[in-house]
Amino acid sequence: MKWRFSGGLRGLATFLFTAVVGVGFSSEAPTNTAPSFRNQVQPILAKFGCSSGACHGAAAGQNGFKLSLRGYDDEGDYIALTRHALGRRIIPSDPGRSLMLLKPTGAVPHKGGKKFDTESPEYKILSDWIASGAPGPRKDDPRIERIEVTPAHAVLKPGGAQQLTVRALFNDGHTEDVTRWAKYTDANAAVTQVDEAGSVNVMGQGEGAVTIWYLSRIGLATITVPFTNSVSAEVFAQAPKRNFIDEFVNRKLQTLNLPPSPRSSDEELFRRVYIDTMGVLPTAKETREFLSDSSPDKRDRLIDSLLERDEFVDYWTYKWSDLLLVQSKSLKPAAMWSYYRWLRNNVAANTPWDVLVRNIMTAQGSTLENGGANFFVLHEDPRLMAETTSQAFLGMSINCAKCHNHPMEKWTNDEYFGFANLFARVRKKSGSSDGENVIFVANRGDVVQPLRGKPQPPRPLEGQPLPIDDEGDRRHALSQWLTSPDNPYFTRAIVNRIWANFFGVGLVEAVDDLRVTNPASNEQLLSGAARFLTERRFDLKALMRAILQSEAYQRTSRALPENSGDTRFYSRYYPRRMMAEVLLDTLSQVTGALTQFKGYPEGWRALQLPDSNVDSYFLKSFGRPDREKTCECERADESSVTQVLHITNGDTLNKKLTAKGNRVEKLLADKTPPEKAIEELYLSALARYPTEGEKEKLTRALSEAPERERRQALEDIYWAVLSSREFLFNH
């Protein structure tokens, strides 16, 4: 007898099992009543955690047995269950003796514990499947297209509950109630908690979301729980509105019963807008002029003036340098400077965001002449190019789909490799100058998908595939799809980044995590802002101006009793510590003692540095990112004991206060009256005049200090102000 097999390793596995054991499993000819492996068995394995990352779906499997994560590989999982270890997990002649049933029912020891009873629907489906010969996935199996969740949105009261219903819709037109086998997770456990059956219980106030997963399809149910405040409808009707932002914010606040805080004072707004827009403090002279101006349009004129200043260019060049990883660890100095100058020139010219990104995506030639081409030097692997492109410009991480279907998103392993294949032909070669590379595009070459053993047709995410044999530059099709006004991810991503800069909290948090399962706190606002930016041809300054002019941005940071629990709906401005570079620059600005960075001209501010690879204990301690990966998580905003100790007794502030020729020394040398010295400090550090109590107390302390101790007294006053929360935080 001659035995033959085909189909690679999986065909070989099937051949060996059949030859040795002689049991005829069939993947093509199940009985009419046999449950579907693809559509019924796999959901059970996923629902009860068998194919989860904590069990057999882990990269290395569990106890020598491995399944694909959440069942994304039907063919592979079928072979593992029916052929692995000579098929000992399946006994078609006596299904009840199958390990696949004995272990989850607790009949034999199982590390994962008991999963279901012998009387359960899950047991019946699995036993019927085994009894039918354990048929495998078929090419003509109905394929799931989407799931529908009911209700998609619910408004509940504290202590309330809601049962979710999930229906799966298949490509042959039939639907199934899959509520029992869907998986549920909470997006905000402080608001809702969902059990395995899809029953949602309210835990707090605000808005939460429940993610529903079934057969690699994802659904979402949002749960709104209004705050139990007694707020008159007139409060919202009379709330001032400047533009579309206020319309959407106020509408959400009314839904949640959150009254908005009143408008900020001129002092509060003046300091805030300088820090958020340019990363510097206003000077004492600028503060005096603004506070003495009684013109009704002075806030608008201020905003327009700040958007045109050089410090604005410095600040936003630095922000985009974080995003695009401008640094000298991976680039030679000449290339790093080229990349930085290219980016700064685009910010100074207010290049539309879609044009800037399109120029990066299609960049080629010398990296010293075309600085944007350094993007491809930093990301030589096509997969890394794809991952960084998605993270930076779409606000989504597709990394998980590199090994398996994304467990928290809709992107599949096939889609990942199709996207990566768009970059497969980007090449580089060394140029003639030091640090120079030349980026070019080859006319052949593809990324092989390990699971399939062949390349996927190159295609944008959710876009149309390109002919795999086309010798043209695939990046042109990518850039057109990426920056198209019809691509919602692209516009929403940049809107969310800019919004987070000015409000401290993104409409989606984290700002580069715009997956379906992480909904916006105000979806209508995010969509409206995206439309606004698209209609203005991606003019970022236009969006910034709208944000800065809005009443939502200009609210005070002081909470009302009724909105003190709000942290993401913008009923007030949320105070936050200044970012590391801004804090260091403002300490230098107020004390008049500049920070010297090795290798850079005297007087350069931290926000003017092109490179993150600069030795600074202060910047490192206060969370400066290393620019090694495109992720907002690289920047640490949380306060720490190290930061507290460094501000209170560290070298940075103390050396600036004792430096020769600093502001303290000049005030004393000019014999500035104590009252004026205190006023100068408050105006330059806090953008306000001292209160009568502050002025009287500090003036007396400075006046009564002996002449030889006058400098020490003024240094102490400066230290007290510069280490205060009012100074360290933007508010």
User: What pLDDT was estimated at residue 53?
Assistant: 80
Go through the chain and tell me how many residues it has.
731
User: 207 pLDDT exceeds 90?
Assistant: yes
Topology, domain 144-225: Immunoglobulin-like (2.60.40)
DSSP secondary structure of 199-219: EEEE-SSEEEEEEEEETTEEE
Neighbouring CB atoms inside 10 A of 143's CB total: 11
Q: How far apart are the first and last CA of the chain?
A: 84
| Separation between Cα atoms, residue 20 and residue 17, nearest integer Å | 5
User: pTM for the complete prediction?
Assistant: 0.90
User: 494 pLDDT exceeds 90?
Assistant: yes
Closest by Cα among 28, 7, 11 to 19: 11
Are 50 and 56 in contact by the 8 Å Cβ rule? The answer is yes
Are 526 and 508 in contact by the 8 Å Cβ rule? The answer is yes
pLDDT tens across 418-460, in order? 999 999 999 999 999 999 999 999 999 999 988 788 999 999 9
Are 257 and 652 in contact by the 8 Å Cβ rule? The answer is no
Please name the residues in contact with 592: beta carbons below 8 A apart, sequence gap of 6 or more: 661, 662, 663, 664, 666
| Separation between Cα atoms, residue 102 and residue 728, nearest integer Å | 62
DSSP secondary structure of 323-378: HHT--TTTS-HHHHHHHHHHHHHHHHTT--HHHHHHHHHT--EETTTSGGGHHHHH
Closest by Cα among 694, 564, 680, 596 to 284: 680
Looking at the chain, the domain(s) classified CATH 2.60.40.1080 span: 144-225
Are 657 and 591 in contact by the 8 Å Cβ rule? The answer is yes
Please name the residues in contact with 656: beta carbons below 8 A apart, sequence gap of 6 or more: 587, 588, 591, 593, 662
Are 191 and 203 in contact by the 8 Å Cβ rule? The answer is yes
User: What confidence tier does 407 reach under pLDDT thresholds 50, 70, 90?
Assistant: low
User: What confidence tier does 112 reach under pLDDT thresholds 50, 70, 90?
Assistant: confident
Task: Determine the average pLDDT of the residues in 308-337.
Answer: 96
Helix (H) or strand (E) holding 13: helix 8-21
| Separation between Cα atoms, residue 586 and residue 278, nearest integer Å | 11
pLDDT tens across 551-594, in order? 999 999 999 999 999 999 999 999 999 999 999 999 999 999 99
pLDDT tens across 18-31, in order? 333 333 344 444 44
Q: Which residue has the higher pLDDT, 411 or 17?
A: 411
The DSSP bridge partners found for residue 162 are 200
